[in-house]
Amino acid sequence: MTGTTRRVGELIGLAGVIGSLIFVGIEVRQSSIATRAATDAAVADGFRELNLVLASSPDLAGAFAAYASNPEEAPAEDQILMLGFYRALFHIWSNGHRQHLNGTIDPAIFQAVVQEISAYAGQVPPGADIDDIERRQRLMRWAWESERFIFNPDFQAFVDSVLNAKR
C-alpha cells in the first residue's frame, strides 16, 4: 500500500468514525426526548387518576367536605380515606421530585409540582380563596406529618423546606 492510499483509507475510516459518533449523538438525544416525554406523561397521568378518584368517590369527597378544616376530628374511616388520597398525591410529588433530580422531567412540569406544594403549604396565589388555601394547608400538614416517614430523605427535606419557607 502506498502512503497516499493508506492516508485515503485512514481519512475514510476517520469519516466513518465521525459519522458513527454523530449518529450515536442523534440517537442519544432522541432517546432523552422520548424519556422526558414518557416521564411528563406519567406525572400527568398520576394527577389525572388521582383527580378521578376524588371526583368518583362520594365517601372521599364527603370526608374532605366535612373534615378538611380539622382532620383530627374525622372518624377513623374518613381519616384513612383522606390519608390515602394524600399518600397518593405525595407519591406523585415524590416521583416528580426524583425525576427532577435525575433531569428527566420537563422543568415546567416540575415547577407546577412545586407551585402546587407551595399552594398547599399556604402561599396564596393571586385571586385564590384564602379560606380554601388555609383549609388545604391544615389538611396537607396533617397528612404530611402522618405520612412523611414513608418517603425518602431527599423528598422529606424538599417538602419540609417548602413547608417551612411558607410559615
pLDDT of residue 116: 83
Angstrom CA distances, 69 to 64, 65, 76, 157, stand at: 8, 9, 16, 26
H or E, element range at 117? helix 107-121
Please write the tens of the pLDDT for every residue from 82-122: 999 999 999 989 988 998 998 888 888 899 888 888 877 76
Comparing CA positions, the residue from 94, 99, 100 lying closest to residue 149 is: 94
Q: Taking CA 133 as the corner, what is the angle to CA 130 and CA 134, rounded to the nearest 5 degrees?
A: 85
Other beta carbons less than 10 A from residue 98's beta carbon: 15
Q: How many helices (H) and strands (E) does the chain have?
A: 6, 0
Low-confidence ranges of the chain (pLDDT < 70): 1, 36, 39, 47, 122-126, 128-129, 166-167
Please give the pLDDT value at position 62: 92
122 in Cβ contact with 74 (< 8 Å): no
Q: How far apart (Å, rounded) are the C-alpha atoms in residues 142 and 50?
A: 19
- Full-model pTM: 0.73
Maximum alpha-carbon separation in the chain: 92
Tell me the three state secondary structure of residue 128: coil
115-122: list long-range contacts, CB under 8 Å, 24+ apart.
117/93, 117/159, 117/162, 118/162, 118/166, 121/162, 121/163, 121/165, 121/166, 122/166, 122/167
pLDDT value of position 46 = 75
